[in-house]
Amino acid sequence: MPSPFGPPPDVARAAALDLQARLPALTEGKMFGVLVVEGGDYLAAFSGMLDGRWNVEGFVAPAFDASARAAFWPDGEAELARIDVALAALEPIRAEVAAAIGRDEAALDELRIRHRLRREDRRARRTGAGATQLHALDQESRGDSAERRRHDDAHRAQRDELAGRARQLDAERARLVALRSERSRHYLHRLQDTYAFPLRALFAPAEPPGGAGDCAAPKLIAYALRHGLVPRALAEFWWGPPPPTGDRRHGVFYPACRGKCLPILTHLLADIAEPPPIYEQQQPGELRLVWQDDHLMVVSKPVGLLSVPGRSTRDSVETRLGATVVHRLDLDTSGLIVLAKDATTLAAMHRTFERREVTKRYIAWLDGDVAGDEGVIDLPLRGDLDDRPRQIVDPVHGRPALTAWRVLERRDGRTRVAFSPRTGRAHQLRVHAAHPRGLATPIVGDRIYGARARGAGDRLLLHAESLAFVHPHTGASLEFADLSPF
């Protein structure tokens, strides 16, 4: 069986298209999958729940044991609900106590302000005052001190009681939060132990990510193995509107995610499927020196070569040249990259990049006709914790990412674009090209964000063509060009 982490085989793609012809329109998008089994039939599944249900006619059942789940999960949900009720009941009491403490502090603040104003007035009146007037002013000062003592004496017991009450409520809330966390983890572990594969052990020592085991692919493989069916080919696709992150498109095929599914599918398919493709095992071309001096080096990186060593290979720009990469290019991206030969130069160049004093230009062919001729894309990005190295748009937690773009050419249903990134986030240009709120047109050959499967020998048509900056030591303006090969 071909790896589920690569492009879907034709037989699985055909089965998926057959399923798509029968799927209704969805108001909320979802990942679906098909598994072709020996004999030519195929199974279908969806990720998570569909219309609030785990079991839907025509789709395989979840990978967990439903009867075992039913034996404890309702009681677990009821226990967690009782804890939630107790937590909710604390909040108005905590708010009432906090309000009382606030009123007491406000009264004390008002007294302090009044005394401060009177003290400033007395200070002004002491200038040129006689003995009798000074005595009267001293009496006023002692009167203020006495008023403060009376206030403190009158409110001390109440203030201490409120502070003690607040501590008790905070402690009770902390106890309930900890209890809910412990009981939730207890029931979750019990549920995870009912799956048709050792879910917790596969992710140990870490906890399984949320939703692990409920994706379409693990459901399909687990079901097939339970029923003595032989898996032959798998395909997964998104159906419906894109998710809030915008990184899935209607009807597009996607490989199984690595964050949630790699350990599970590797376990289930150990003797059945090809190993998952390791991207770093491509055969890269040769580095080409563009320019160097005693401090810096500029080279042209080929497709398939890492900028820095990876988990599965040491081969990279850094290890080949013995210098330190200042900024990185994706494995799939070719073009200009700068290296520093010493720590002082590296630190200076990092500051230059951080201040956005480097001008970069990339050339790309996009897989479609881009709307408009130029503009700026502003979509914050962060890593997808469940599917690295994928990046997703996140307006709340993402880091700022800005890209200026301009159309250079339109031909045969594709668009040649010049990108000028103003920030340097991972996969920035690839996401900004593919995202519905970006150009909504992925870069040709993009195996992560592209709308079409990538064939053997295809490359990502993205090239870092020009680079300009001021030399950190000489102050000279440097500009380099490496014309796009496509």
Q: Could you give the residue numbers annotated as active site? A: 330
> In sequence order, what are the beta bridge partners of 297?
292, 339
Neighbours of 86 (CB within 10 A): 15
Smallest CA-to-CA distance from 48 within 64, 37, 36 is with: 64
Q: Are strands 462-470 and 334-340 parallel, antiparallel or unpaired?
A: parallel
Smallest CA-to-CA distance from 405 within 392, 419, 426, 423 is with: 419
- Tokens coding 280: 């770093």
What is the rounded CA–CA span in Å between residue 370 and residue 440?
8
For the chain, counts of helices (H) and of strands (E):
9, 16
Smallest CA-to-CA distance from 263 within 188, 193, 209, 191 is with: 209
Residue 143 phi, psi (nearest 5):
-65, -40
Tokens 């107790």 correspond to 86
- Tokens coding 42: 């195929």
Contact status, residue 264 vs residue 218, Cβ threshold 8 Å: yes
Instruction: Give CB contacts under 8 A, 24+ apart, made by 141-145.
Output: 144/115, 144/118, 144/119
Extended strands (E) in 262-401: 288-292, 296-301, 324-325, 334-340, 359-366, 374-378, 381-383, 391-393
- Tokens coding 409: 């050419």
For the chain, report the end-to-end CA distance as a whole number of angstroms. 35
Which residues 6+ apart lie within 8 Å of 101 measured at CB?
Answer: 159, 162, 163, 166
Specify burial of residue 171 (Cβ count, 10 A radius: 0-12, 13-18, 19+). Answer: exposed
**Would you call 464 helix, strand, or coil by DSSP?**
strand
Smallest CA-to-CA distance from 179 within 187, 117, 73, 95 is with: 187
Contact status, residue 235 vs residue 217, Cβ threshold 8 Å: no
Angle of the 131-192 helix axis to the 66-126 helix axis, nearest 10 = 170
What is the rounded CA–CA span in Å between residue 441 and residue 377?
13
Tokens 């991972």 correspond to 426
